[in-house]
Chains A and B, each alone.
Chain A
Amino acid sequence: MERASEIIAATLATCGAALAAYSYWVLGSVPLVALGIGALIVAASIAATYREAPYSEAARALLEAYAVNVARVLEEFGASLKATYIKGGFVLAPLTNPSPDINGARLEHLISGSRGRYGLVLKAPRLEVEPGDPEAALTRVLVDTLGLCDNVRVVRTGDRVLVEIVKPREPVEARRFSEVLGPLSAHLAAAALAEALGGALQLEEIEREGKSIRVSLRVVEGVGEG
């Protein structure tokens, strides 16, 4: 992607300079000179624009370490059921089937639950999301800030929220992490959505289709319209 924008900038700069020079000295056409200069300005703008937010590489390195560590914890506890994302950045990874009730979950503890229904309480990275349009919130976090994917689409239907993450860049393949919490980009998306919608979302299905990941989240509790 980065390379593509560099190629576009270089092409625009070359064509713009050639068009402006040819139009000025040979054709004598003012509109075409303006068009060439316009292309040069666009090329300069593309070249000067940050492809990624500053420090996104450092953030990705931290997330990579986070995914590996959490995968080890999940492995150690034998968690394999899909997690529930709760407002406040909490994630409840069930350790038993049936999974623990999220209403009575003691989120300050590492293990929450009672009477044979237990879950592991994890804290997802704190993501600055404002309540409101969930697609805009995810785009800002995943695309603009972390550069973890090219595009995000979000639709809401009935008690489900569906997220399509286009061209995700997964820094690390932690199998247990993906199994329980979803791929890293889906995990962050689910945590951000729970925050943006203000409720609890259960990871239901993850499907890879071409260059996209489609995540289905079921609304478990108190999610507003967003």
Chain B
Amino acid sequence: MAVPDKLTDTLETLEMVPDRSERIQLLIDIAGRFEEVPSRLARRPFAKEHQVPACESEAYVFTEPRPDGTLDFHFAVENPQGISAKAMAVILGDALSGAPPEQVAEVSQDIVYQVFGRELSMGKSMGLMSMVGMVAAMAKKQAEAKSS
């Protein structure tokens, strides 16, 4: 299964920044673009079924269907220090919203390491991988609904 084009582009852009401090700055800039899920879709307290398991920054994922059957992905991150979770949310939202759900469903959780490098704690990498996993699971559900 092909990887969504925008995700490929994003990962290639990040790969062009091998210097750790430059990569960190780029990810901070990305996190700065984080916008919380619109209130028309969800309000606090956010429903538990939208909470990312194992994410210590208390992240939530929401979807909004487009007329063409693809999904927009929205996020909330409750930890004010959850900069990495916000950066991941922006990357996933930008790169996967509007992509074919069948492709999104197959996105590997290992992209976390392509984004952040290997120097992540086990807890942090599990939380970020769980964000990817939850997005993929929601896309899979959409793909199955489309085909049935």
Q: Do A and B bind each other?
A: no
